[in-house]
Amino acid sequence: MKNRFVVIMAGGRGERFWPQSRLKRPKHLLPIVGDAPMLTQTIRRLDGLVPVDRIFVITNVEQRESVLETCPELRPDRVIGEPVGRDTAAAVGLAALLVEKEGDDSSFALLPADHVILDATGFQKTLETAFETAEAEDQLVTVGIRPTFPSTGYGYLEKGDGVGEYAGRSVAAVRRFVEKPNLEKAEEYLNSGNYFWNAGMFIWRPSVILEEIDRLVPKLSEGLQELKQFWAASGNLDQAMNQVYPELEKISIDFAVMEKAKQVTMVESSFDWDDVGEWSAIERHYPKDQNENVFKGDGVALDSSGNLTFSESGHCITLLGVKNLIVVQSGDATMVCHKDRAQEVKALAQAVGEKNSSLT
């Protein structure tokens, strides 16, 4: 088996899933969809493709112990806690340094911790093509998801010309990255057949991504080199992180590199995918009653329709004469909101935190 690695990004707070998701028990450590925590599902999905001892997890210092408790199969030295979040470009640079230190300029996949993918076989076949592409060419490889509806909540990739075939699948250039569109544009993208959802999955070799960061984001590159040097001199990554990481430039990898890089290619996915980015998304994964209500946990509805409820520990949520609500009971907090305000739950969680930090 080739020395391939996976780096899982698990540093988010999952505030759009408050009140179930909290700082020390975020979305990726919860069974939002399915019976196992989302991070556990992500690791299991890699079984047979990459050994577990070649999996890194980048999280934050507050969540590191919870990650190890949730996923005891991980090597503790492979679970890295950011002392402070510096957005995705810094995390990508850190990931590249971690794999670079393993030697051989081994390819690695950078994956989110909390996506729903049921077809593990199709997922692995897609990644196999991406790995082979990254190993054969100096390419930044990403995975494109063929859209199934005109989403305004996802970014898009515009597919360009084909560039070759790897592991029996075609690979195409990415013409451009597109920010989240309005509904009219999203429908246009869907109908064209040439636009794909940007799933935030990347595959490359450390030398290739670090060279692009150096070319396009020189200030961040200087900080990463300082981190590398401090780590080498001290022999202690935690010390190096505490000393250097808070000063790294804060910028997203899409804006910093992917939207400007020239050698970006795309593998079209052959698996189901959902990033379940907010409460209303989980109803796609659970059965509805005759009035389109979804209950995760105990619930009873009378003269109510189109609602989603979530409850823990045998707590029963009852609905009477209401429509299109999200009701979540979790621990010491309950949230009620209209479905069309689901994307604003993050702001609500932040407002709650300002009043009582113990609730976040």
pLDDT in tens, 201-245: 999 999 999 999 999 999 999 999 999 999 999 999 999 999 999
How far apart (Å, rounded) are the C-alpha atoms in residues 360 and 352? 7
Tens of pLDDT along 254-270?
999 999 998 999 999 98
- The predicted pLDDT at position 175 comes to 96
In CATH, the number for domain 5-268 is: 3.90.550.10
How far apart (Å, rounded) are the C-alpha atoms in residues 28 and 247? 27
Question: DSSP secondary structure string, 279-329?
Answer: GGGGGGGS---TTS-EEESSEEEES-BS-EEE--TTPPEEEES-BSEEEEE
- The predicted pLDDT at position 2 comes to 74
For residue 14, the Cα-to-chain-centroid distance in whole angstroms is: 11
- The predicted pLDDT at position 228 comes to 98
Q: SS3 for 263?
A: coil
How far apart (Å, rounded) are the C-alpha atoms in residues 18 and 26? 9
- Going by the DSSP 8-state scheme, the letter that residue 331 receives in this structure is T
For residue 243, the Cα-to-chain-centroid distance in whole angstroms is: 27
Q: Which two tokens stand for residue 20?
A: 């179930």
Domain edges within the chain: 5-268, 279-359
- The predicted pLDDT at position 327 comes to 98
Spatial CB neighbours of 225, under 8 Å, sequence gap ≥ 6: none
Q: Which two tokens stand for residue 183?
A: 């509904």
Amino acid found at 330: S
Q: Which two tokens stand for residue 108?
A: 């690695």
- The predicted pLDDT at position 202 comes to 98
- The predicted pLDDT at position 44 comes to 98
Q: SS3 for 264?
A: strand
How far apart (Å, rounded) are the C-alpha atoms in residues 266 and 111? 15
CB atoms within 10 A of CB 136: 12
Helices (H), 108-182: 120-136
Per residue of the chain (360 residues), what is the pLDDT tens digit? 579 999 999 988 889 999 999 988 899 999 999 889 999 999 999 999 999 999 999 999 999 999 999 999 999 999 999 999 999 999 999 999 999 999 899 999 999 999 999 999 999 999 999 999 999 999 999 999 999 999 998 999 999 999 999 999 999 999 999 999 999 999 999 999 999 999 999 999 999 999 999 999 999 999 999 999 999 999 999 999 999 999 999 999 999 999 999 899 999 998 999 998 899 999 999 999 999 999 999 999 999 999 999 998 889 999 999 999 999 999 899 999 999 999 899 999 999 999 999 888
Q: SS3 for 86?
A: coil
How far apart (Å, rounded) are the C-alpha atoms in residues 289 and 279? 18
Q: SS3 for 35?
A: coil
How far apart (Å, rounded) are the C-alpha atoms in residues 7 and 201? 10
- The predicted pLDDT at position 13 comes to 81
Can you give the pTM of this predicted structure?
0.94
What b/e readout covers 257-286, taking b as 16+ CB neighbours within 10 angstroms?
bbbebeebbbbbbbbebbbbbbbbbbbeee
Contact 60, 28 (CB under 8 A): no
- The predicted pLDDT at position 314 comes to 85
